[in-house]
Amino acid sequence: MRISESELIERYFIGRGAARAGDVRIGIGDDAAVVAVPRGCELVLTTDVQVEGVHFLKSAPPRALGHRALAVNLSDIAAMGGEPSWMLLSLVLPDARERWLREFSRALGALATRAGVALVGGNLSRGPLSITIALVGLVPAGKALRRDGARAGDDLYVSGTLGDAAGGLELLRRRGGISTAAARYLRRRFEYPQARVALGQALRGIASACIDVSDGLYVDASRLLSASECSATLELEALPVSAPLRQLCGSRALTLALSGGEDYELCFTAPDRQRAALARLARRLRLPIARIGTVRRGAGGLQLRGLDGKSVTQFSALAFDHFGVTQTGRSRRHRR
């Protein structure tokens, strides 16, 4: 391999994505990028790393990785109500496989363009495959959504459907696999998550608190409640579960919807006077928004109410944690 880092960057990364307003003063090619911030905006900053064998399977297609590496960061910006704007990419690769780079960078660039994000810098390095993106977004000053704003009496909501990504990951692990439309749908939900950026921005002024569902609804909703020093009752009947998940996972669908990670939907709370506004928003965005529970005063986390109206105590939801297992239910097991 006789191609240099700067040649690879020029070939595959310069010009990827799209700045929204010509606000990139100096892009790739200097020591650092320089960008202009619109007046009245604060910055939203996040980063996420995807490591081979930890966050994705060795068989993962480069297109999915390019999409996913950005999508998980977009989801963090979405959960703050931010407008994603500029990104930096650190790509560690065992070798300079040009076909891999072409497919990866195309998918990354396509999602960046759709999201209005410009790739303004980064680096390529040799080493075990990992992808780190740092993403900078904008939010009107003081208007960011937070985790800690939920109040007693608020409704608890979640966007989209839950558990699909976990179902898709299970299917990807079974090599050979099923090729029905339902299976393709679930695999796609894992490989190509759709960050709810438009929803997040629309929730400014409506939601009282917000978090993205990356580690499973049970865990992430509990985090929101803990930050807000509240508890909540969640109606299992109200959980949005897709037809493909019911079809392929049957009775386990509800468990996956509660504890399966990586759906990258938004879980949020809002006062009940916002119900009509949220119904309109769901129609406008063509995205289901399900009211799944009610926030209550005091600690106690997330209580589940079953189909018969009785409290469910046997449910074991387990957070995925890279350094051990966070117990949130009664049993322990490693999700991967």
Site for a second copy in 122-141 (CB under 8 A): 122-128, 130, 132, 134, 136-137, 139, 141
In whole angstroms, the minimum distance from the beta carbon of 21 to a second copy comes to 14
In whole angstroms, the minimum distance from the beta carbon of 95 to a second copy comes to 8
- Please tell me the count of residues contacting a second copy according to CB under 8 A: 78
* 98 lies in the site for a second copy, by CB under 8 A: no
User: CB of 123 within 8 A of CB of 92?
Assistant: no
In whole angstroms, the minimum distance from the beta carbon of 209 to a second copy comes to 10
Of 12, 16, 33, 167, the one binding a second copy (CB under 8 A) is 33
Both structure tokens of 146: 């937070």
- Residue whose structure tokens are 């400014």: 204
Of 5, 10, 229, 237, the one binding a second copy (CB under 8 A) is 5
* 80 lies in the site for a second copy, by CB under 8 A: yes
* 189 lies in the site for a second copy, by CB under 8 A: no
Partners of residue 40 on adjacent β-strands: none
* 94 lies in the site for a second copy, by CB under 8 A: no
Which of 41-49, 166-174, 181-189, 190-198 is the region at the interface with a second copy (rule: CB under 8 A)?
Answer: 41-49
* H helical segments located in 137-193: 164-173, 181-191
- The rounded distance, in Å, linking the Cα atoms of 237 and 256 is 14
Tell me the C-alpha to C-alpha distance, in Å, between residue 63 and each of 68, 105, 109, 113, 314: 9, 8, 10, 15, 40
* 51 lies in the site for a second copy, by CB under 8 A: yes
- The rounded distance, in Å, linking the Cα atoms of 55 and 169 is 11
Tell me the C-alpha to C-alpha distance, in Å, between residue 226 and each of 74, 208, 214: 24, 14, 17
* 48 lies in the site for a second copy, by CB under 8 A: yes
Tell me the C-alpha to C-alpha distance, in Å, between residue 89 and each of 66, 123, 169: 11, 6, 25
Sign of CA dihedral 173, 163, 206, 271: negative
In whole angstroms, the minimum distance from the beta carbon of 26 to a second copy comes to 6
* 194 lies in the site for a second copy, by CB under 8 A: no
User: CB of 218 within 8 A of CB of 259?
Assistant: yes
Which of 86-94, 165-173, 242-250, 276-284 is the region at the interface with a second copy (rule: CB under 8 A)?
Answer: 86-94
* 275 lies in the site for a second copy, by CB under 8 A: no
In whole angstroms, the minimum distance from the beta carbon of 181 to a second copy comes to 33
Q: What is the DSSP letter of 20?
A: S
* 323 lies in the site for a second copy, by CB under 8 A: yes
* 76 lies in the site for a second copy, by CB under 8 A: yes
> Which x/- pattern, by CB under 8 A, does the window 146-185 give for a second copy?
xxx-------------------------------------
* 326 lies in the site for a second copy, by CB under 8 A: yes
- The rounded distance, in Å, linking the Cα atoms of 161 and 146 is 22
